[in-house]
Amino acid sequence: MSDLKMEDFVRLYSMHESKVRAYVRAGLPTIEDVNEVMQEVSLVAWRKFSTLEDAEGFGRWMCVIARYEILKYRRSKARDRLVLDEDLLSLIADEGVEETSERAAEIQALQKCIRKLPEKYRGLVIKAYTPDQSKKKLAAEIGKTPAALYQLLSRLRLTLLNCVQGKLANEGIK
């Protein structure tokens, strides 16, 4: 692989990695499973990159690789009792490929809408939805009761939802 192709792979992979990770996450029960499969997906994609004919289809191509890697991983874990039927997983995977660009547009719209919030609310939303963040502690930090914080977050979620839906409608996505 020439240096240019290596650079192309790294650029394309970094552009599509989060979408492929979301796709893999839809088919696996734990984040550890996702991390393991993503590692295999990236290795297979790296080895097969020279077979990719169109850089525009890189994300979809990676999802196809991910689909096979998910199936392979699930077969290796078949003795576990919480394994979905392969036909159902295949259906979920097909829908996931179709929804990848839509989800990316939603995430992009959400990021723009969060940036539009006043600074104090932007920080609050980000903090409130950080993993392992206690709503009770956060309420105390901002001098509100947990119920008042819940109401405020509810209003902010509604504001963000309306903003995202408006942006997507303007772009003709939903």
pLDDT at position 145 is: 93
Q: What is the Cα–Cα distance from 138 to 144, expressed in whole angstroms? A: 9
Mean pLDDT of 122-142: 87
Q: Where are the domains of the chain?
A: 1-101, 117-174
Q: Please state the pTM of the whole predicted model.
A: 0.49
Chain mean pLDDT for the chain: 84
pLDDT at position 1 is: 42
CA distances from 32 to 3, 57, 67, 103 (A): 32, 27, 17, 22
Q: pLDDT (tens digit, 9 = 90+) per residue, 2-37?
A: 444 778 889 999 998 988 998 898 888 888 999 999
User: How many Cβ atoms are within 10 Å of 37's Cβ, its own excluded?
Assistant: 23
- With beta carbons less than 8 A apart as the criterion, state whether 160 and 107 touch: no
pLDDT at position 99 is: 67
Percentage of the chain beyond pLDDT 90 is 36
Mean pLDDT of 73-85: 68
Say whether pLDDT at 53 is over 90. no
pLDDT at position 78 is: 66
How many angstroms separate the first and last alpha carbons of the chain? 41
The top-level CATH class assigned to 1-101 is mainly alpha
Q: pLDDT (tens digit, 9 = 90+) per residue, 81-100?
A: 555 666 776 777 667 666 67
Q: What is the Cα–Cα distance from 124 to 141, expressed in whole angstroms? A: 10
Q: pLDDT (tens digit, 9 = 90+) per residue, 111-120?
A: 899 999 999 8
Only one residue has tokens 């792979």, namely: 9
